[in-house]
Amino acid sequence: MSSEPARRPRRLWALWAALLALFSPLLLTPASAPAATATDTTATAQADPVPGMFNPRQTWLRNSTAGLFLHWGMYTQPEHYDCDSWQKAVNDSGWNPDYWVKETQKIHGSYIVLATFHSRLGYARPWPSKIPGSCSTKRDILGELIKAAKAKGIKVILYMTDDPQWHDVMGPESFDSAAYSAYKGKDVDLTTRPGFGEFSYDNFFEVMHNYPDLKGFWIDNDNEYWEQHHLYEQIREQRPDMLLSNNNEDTPIMDTVSNEQKTGMTPDYDMPAAYWTSMPRLTESCYKVPSSGAWWYDGQDRPVDTALNIRRYVANAGTSYKSLMDLQAQVDGTFPPQQQAFTDYMSKYLDPIWESLHGVEGGGYLYGGLRPGAWNDGAYGYTTVSKEDPTREYIHVTTRPAGTDSGTLRIRDNGTKVKRISDLRTGKKIAFDQHDGTVTLKDITTWDPYDTVFKVETERHRQGLYPSNTVRATATSSKDGHPAADLTDGDLTRYWDSNAQVPVSVTLDLGGVKKARYLAVNQTEWSPTYNRESFGRKEDSARIKDYKVFASDDGEHWGDPVKTGVMESARSTRYVDLDTTARYIRLEVDSTWSAATVIPFYHQLRIDEIAVGHSYPVSHGRG
Question: How do residues 77-112 score in pLDDT, each as one tens digit?
Answer: 999 999 999 999 999 999 999 999 999 999 999 999
- Residue 4's pLDDT is 30
Q: What per-residue string of b and e applies to 459-479 under the rule 16 or more CB within 10 Å gives b?
A: eebbbbbbebeebebbbbbbb
- Residue 223's pLDDT is 96
- Residue 594's pLDDT is 93
Question: Looking at the predicted structure, is the pLDDT value of residue 265 above 80?
Answer: yes
Q: State the Cα–Cα distance between residues 294 and 283, nearest whole angstrom.
A: 23
Question: Looking at the predicted structure, is the pLDDT value of residue 8 above 60?
Answer: no
**Residue 109 CB-density burial (10 A; 0-12 exposed, 13-18 middle, 19+ buried):** buried
Contacts of 59 (CB under 8 A, 6+ apart): none
Question: Looking at the predicted structure, is the pLDDT value of residue 268 above 80?
Answer: yes
**Residue 326 CB-density burial (10 A; 0-12 exposed, 13-18 middle, 19+ buried):** buried
Q: What would the pLDDT profile of 230-240 be if each residue is shown by its tens digit?
A: 999 999 999 99
CB atoms within 10 A of CB 209: 11
Helix axis angle, 193-210 to 177-184, nearest 10°: 70
Contacts of 481 (CB under 8 A, 6+ apart): 497
| Mean pLDDT (whole number) for 584-591 | 98
What value does the mean pLDDT of the chain take?
90
Cα 374 from chain centre: 19
Contacts of 475 (CB under 8 A, 6+ apart): 483, 484, 487, 496, 498, 504, 505, 506, 507
pTM given for the model? 0.90
Q: State the Cα–Cα distance between residues 405 and 441, nearest whole angstrom.
A: 11
Amino acid making up residue 297: Y
Percent of the chain scoring above 70 in pLDDT: 91
Element (H, E) at 10: helix 10-23
Contact between 24 and 471 under an 8 Å Cβ cutoff? The reply is: no
CB atoms within 10 A of CB 168: 11
Q: What would the pLDDT profile of 202-248 be if each residue is shown by its tens digit?
A: 999 999 999 999 999 999 989 999 999 999 999 999 999 999 999 88
Q: What would the pLDDT profile of 436-486 be if each residue is shown by its tens digit?
A: 999 999 999 999 999 999 999 999 889 999 999 999 999 999 999 999 999
Distances (CA, A) of 450 to 112, 192, 310, 375: 26, 47, 7, 16
Left if phi > 0, otherwise alpha if psi is -120 to 50, otherwise beta: which for 470?
alpha
- Residue 368's pLDDT is 87
3-state secondary structure of 44: coil
* CA atoms 106, 108, 111, 113: torsion sign: negative
Q: What phi and psi values does residue 215 have, to the nearest 5 degrees?
A: -95, 0
Q: What phi and psi values does residue 112 have, to the nearest 5 degrees?
A: -125, 130
CB atoms within 10 A of CB 77: 14
Q: What per-residue string of b and e applies to 562-573 under the rule 16 or more CB within 10 Å gives b?
A: bbeeebebbbbb
Per DSSP, helices labelled H in 94-140 are 97-106
Helix axis angle, 141-151 to 97-106, nearest 10°: 40
Helix axis angle, 97-106 to 337-349, nearest 10°: 50
| Mean pLDDT (whole number) for 358-384 | 94
- Residue 53's pLDDT is 66
Question: Looking at the predicted structure, is the pLDDT value of residue 32 above 80?
Answer: no
Q: State the Cα–Cα distance between residues 586 and 345, nearest whole angstrom.
A: 53
Question: Looking at the predicted structure, is the pLDDT value of residue 63 above 50?
Answer: yes
Contacts of 563 (CB under 8 A, 6+ apart): 548, 549, 576, 577, 578
Contacts of 190 (CB under 8 A, 6+ apart): 133, 134, 164, 167, 175, 176, 177, 180, 196, 199
Question: Looking at the predicted structure, is the pLDDT value of residue 36 above 50?
Answer: no
Q: State the Cα–Cα distance between residues 500 and 478, nearest whole angstrom.
A: 9
Beta-strand pair 282-288/256-260:
parallel
- Residue 584's pLDDT is 98
Q: What would the pLDDT profile of 108-144 be if each residue is shown by its tens digit?
A: 999 999 999 999 999 999 999 999 999 999 999 999 9
Contact between 548 and 571 under an 8 Å Cβ cutoff? The reply is: no
